Amino acid sequence: MTILDRDLASIQEVRTLVKQAKIAQTKLVGLSQTALDDAVEGISKIAYENAEALAKLANQETGFGKWEDKKAKNVLASKTLWQYMKDMKTVGVIHEDHERKVYQIATPMGVIAGLIPSTNPTSTVIYKSLIALKAGNSIVFSPHPSALKCISETVRVLREACYLNGLPEDLINCISMPTMEATDALMKHDDISMILATGGSAMVKAAYSSGTPALGVGPGNVPAYIERSADIEDAVEKIFRSKGFDYGTVCASEQSIVTEKCIEQKVREAVVRNGGYFLRGEELEKVKRVMERPNGGMNPKIVGRSAHYIAEMAGITIPAHVKLLVSDEPGIGPKHPFSKEKLTQLLGFYVVENWHEACETCFALLENGGLGHSLSIHSKDDAIIREFAMKKPVSRFLVNTPSTHGAVGLSTGLAPSFTLGCGTVGGSATGDNVTPLHLINTRWMAYGLEESKTTSASKLPNQDEIEMICKMVLEQLNR
């Protein structure tokens, strides 16, 4: 009966939070782009100032990753994100085509539901809050229970930042009693306009089947192909830097190295020099036994953990300098655990004859749980790079860069994001790095071209008149 009461209480809390968020969101209607941007910039600065404290809290509560890297993710989600999106037009007329007499008008979606994972809890809350606010929306979070404390603290910081910057605190709300029933009620609430789902496959599927529009991301099983023309030492160093970032908790981290037989020995030597340890015999079998649950799913106890932590769990001894545990996996599929996504310091290793076979191997790895997400290549051969880019079913094709850093926008020009779309091939509604532009509705205002031929330009509305019309329409819609 106690569990039932908690479930009912959590559902009631969701209803209250959504109602508060809906009322708060109406206060954004009518704000100019400048006024909204000034407030969001102020909030992003406060999030940035708290990046380290929130990172340490997340690390302490979940045990995942490294606080230094979690701080870097918080900085990406605040300062870097703001620099990227500060000049985006998200209010009123955002594009004008005077020749065709077409005007694009942005309107907010309303209340967003944000589902937050335990692997990247604080950074994902900051990121989703800022893109929601930049688009004129409010947001209600459903936190992962194992990261409730750090998620709640991040929300508290952001709510206070809203107040200090002249916005209603209820623009950002968070469930305090996370239950499956509460998350389900949030996703299906009539006043939720969009779901931003970041988490496991089951959560994302639930979001898409809720009946509410959703942007979700699938799992990543990123192959890193080292082609024969690559700078091998540079490639391996970048793979290790990427895989070691927050101990592999970002879904865009490399899961397997694929390389060619003609450079195999040099790649192996570089792997060992960078802290790789090739598991063999009984050591490999012991690690495989702790990698997965009996049903074949990833064991959550190894997620975001160091190589030494995993080795201790498995009951093996490894040298002190080791950073990654590597396995020559003989196949790809359910019976080969190193061929799957491993959000930790474990890496598969594959050797092929040439780039054609590498193409097939990478495709098979993607089919084994990473379709639509990301693929990494290290090569100096532009023809092969282009061939891979044209044929691989991924949304991010990352060239000569750490996959983790490249995918989230740390080392590339991609949009800073912690919601990495996987396209329809990966079961997602978008293949983009999600930004505020994914959280606005677009209204198109178009003049008849036949009338415009006989109408002088002076009779067409100017920018100020269009803005006034948009404001009046928005006010009517929100009454």
- Chain segment 426-475, per-residue pLDDT in tens: 888 899 999 999 999 999 999 998 765 555 555 556 666 666 666 665 56
Confidence of residue 72 (pLDDT cuts 50, 70, 90): very high
Cβ atoms of 286 and 316 within 8 Å: the answer is yes
Residue 234 is predicted with a pLDDT of: 98
Residue 434: DSSP 8-state: P
The C-alpha atoms of residue 346 and residue 366 are separated, in whole angstroms, by 17
How far apart are the C-alpha atoms of 471 and 241, rounded to whole Å? 49
- Pairwise CA distance, residues 17 & 220, whole Å: 32
Angstrom distance (rounded) from CA 454 to CA 470 = 25
Q: For residue 394, list its beta bridge partners.
A: 372
**The pLDDT value given to residue 241:** 98
User: Which member of 150, 162, 174, 251 is catalytic?
Assistant: 251
- Average pLDDT, stretch 230-256? 97
Judge whether residue 322 has pLDDT over 90.
yes
Residue with tokens 């949304």: 395
What is the per-residue pLDDT for 467?
65
Max alpha carbon distance in the chain (Å)? Answer: 84
Contact 365, 225 (CB under 8 A): no
Condensed to tens digits (0 to 9), the pLDDT of residues 354-404 reads 999 999 999 999 999 999 999 999 999 999 999 999 989 999 999 999 999
251 is catalytic: yes
pLDDT of residue 299: 95
Cα 4 from Cα 17, distance rounded (Å): 20
Nearest-Å Rg of the Cα atoms of the chain is: 24
Start-to-end Cα distance in the chain: 41
Q: Model confidence over 257-290: pLDDT tens digits?
A: 999 999 999 999 999 999 999 999 999 999 999 9
Tell me the pLDDT of the chain averaged across its residues: 93
Residues 198-219 have pLDDT tens digits of: 877 788 888 989 999 999 887 8
Per-domain residue ranges of the chain: 2-217+434-440, 222-406
Give me the pLDDT at residue 470, please. 63
Q: Could you read off the pLDDT of 19-57 as tens digits, one per residue?
A: 999 999 999 998 999 999 999 999 999 999 999 999 999
102-108/440-446 β-pairing: antiparallel
Superfamily grouping for domain 222-406: Aldehyde Dehydrogenase; Chain A, domain 2 (3.40.309.10)
Contacts 24+ apart (CB under 8 A), 38-43: 38/165, 39/133, 39/162, 39/165, 39/166, 39/167, 40/82, 40/130, 40/133, 40/134, 40/165, 41/82, 41/86, 42/161, 42/164, 42/165, 43/129, 43/130, 43/133, 43/158, 43/161, 43/162, 43/165, 43/167
Among residues 80, 81, 414, 52, which one has the least CA distance to residue 252? 414
**Predicted local distance difference test score (pLDDT) of residue 1:** 44
Q: Please indicate whether residue 3 or residue 90 has the higher confidence score (pLDDT).
A: 90
Tell me the C-alpha distance between 78 and 227, whole Å: 36
> Check: CATH 3.90.79.10 for 2-217+434-440?
no
